[in-house]
Amino acid sequence: MTTATIGTLSTLRAEFTGTAGYLAACTVGLPTAGTRRAVSADVAARPDVAAYSLAVEASRAHFARLVGVTADRVAIGSQTSVQVSILAAALPRGARVLVPEDEFSSLVLPFVHAGRDLQVHAAPLCSLADAITAGVDLVAFSLVQSGSGDVADLDAIVAAADRVGARTVCDATQAVGWMPVDALRVDALLCHAYKWLCCPRGVAFLALREDYARTLAPLHAGWYAGDDPWSSCYGGGADLAGCARRFDVSPAWQAFVGAEPALRAFAEADLREVHAHATGLAARLRERLGLPGPERASAIVTWPDASGDDLARLAAAGIVASGRNGCTRVAFHVFNDDADVDRAARALGH
């Protein structure tokens, strides 16, 4: 990608309107102007299956560009937990899986309930790399933790996993869209696009290293996993795609219609600019609230609020935030600005 093809921060920001006080991209993103237009046009027109397929494949390509892989390494889906189940089913019986404490359950439960007597162990995120020792077969972790906003030490985790020959599975749902992400660093990278990528819910991606993909079975294969989907609609003799497309599930067409323009807008943006913008706003709120800074810059700010009083104060001020795991959680994205920092700080008495 050349510099000339990278959009400016202002170009991406112009895709959003009515965003004041919305600090919940970590819960669900706001639709772009392109998404609104695409969905409205689709609802007003007759269904066009060929156009739907084009939207799916364009979305796949945009996501591949976002995470630095080729489109043939990306499978499409609707939920990350379904995609994780493919990875869990491929592990040998009794394999040892390591996850961070308080990890989002969609990444953990498929391993717990895989029916293969998998040993699922948890360690604090800050010492996850140290817990990757001989005997660990797979490490599954979110690049950015949903509950706390903490950013994983990817370098340390990948290095430790390499030393013991463990697979690495990274859920980047809370990362892709506000920070640069390189899927080539891990064996499998998952992302549901309805949060920071501002897509309709029902658009998920799984990027796989080719050697890892060869160890996996296409458990959910249907017509769209066929080498030629339109020749794979009947019977059991269809040839599956020879790339990551064999792990596709039948796409939620209308969701991809709305996703394609949003993914294109983020793929054309400079995510280094978005990262600096979002983490800068988060840092200013932490400073206003007297909160310590994280070890690695994050766009998500959390603090203890077991009573929910702070969350209620934010809501009373017209601010959309969220409560998770006994904490109040706010998120700053490309569409937020300094006025949102001031609004939140004033609502909390700072």
| Domain residue extents for the chain | 3-31+269-347, 44-267
pLDDT tens-digit profile of 262-283? 999 999 999 999 999 999 999 9
d(CA 200, CA 304): 30
Q: Is the pLDDT of residue 5 over 60?
A: no
Q: What is the 3-state secondary structure (H, E, C) of 6-64?
A: CECHHHHHCCCCCCCCECCCCCCCCCCHHHHHHHHHHHHCCCCHHHHHHHHHHHHHHHH
The 8 Å CB, 24+ separation contacts for 12-16 are 12/265, 12/266, 12/269, 12/274, 12/334, 13/334, 13/335, 15/262, 15/265, 16/198, 16/334, 16/335
Sign of the CA dihedral running 131, 128, 87, 229 = negative
Q: What is the pLDDT of residue 6?
A: 63
Which pair of tokens denotes residue 304? 């203890």
Q: What is the pLDDT of residue 8?
A: 86
d(CA 207, CA 184): 9
**pTM of the full structure:** 0.96
pLDDT tens-digit profile of 133-176? 999 999 999 999 999 999 999 999 999 999 999 999 999 999 99
DSSP class of 187: S
pLDDT tens-digit profile of 205-216? 999 999 999 999
Q: What is the pLDDT of residue 315?
A: 98
pLDDT tens-digit profile of 66-90? 999 999 999 999 999 999 999 999 9
Residues 6+ apart with CB under 8 A from 211: none
Give the CATH H-level superfamily of domain 3-31+269-347.
Aspartate Aminotransferase, domain 1 (3.90.1150.10)
1: pLDDT confidence band, cut at 50, 70 and 90? Answer: very low
Domain boundaries 44-267, corresponding CATH code: 3.40.640.10
pLDDT tens-digit profile of 315-328? 999 999 999 999 99
3: pLDDT confidence band, cut at 50, 70 and 90? Answer: very low
pLDDT tens-digit profile of 51-62? 999 999 999 999
pLDDT tens-digit profile of 325-338? 999 999 999 999 99
Task: Please give the mean pLDDT across all residues of the chain.
Answer: 96
Tell me what the mean pLDDT of segment 23-37 comes to.
98
d(CA 350, CA 324): 22
Q: Is the pLDDT of residue 218 over 60?
A: yes
Q: Is the pLDDT of residue 2 over 80?
A: no
Torsion-angle region of residue 91: left (phi > 0), alpha (psi -120 to 50) or beta? beta
pLDDT tens-digit profile of 225-253? 999 999 999 999 999 999 999 999 999 99
Which pair of tokens denotes residue 208? 């796989």
- Of the candidates 21, 331, 296, 335, the one whose C-alpha atom is nearest the C-alpha of residue 146 is 331
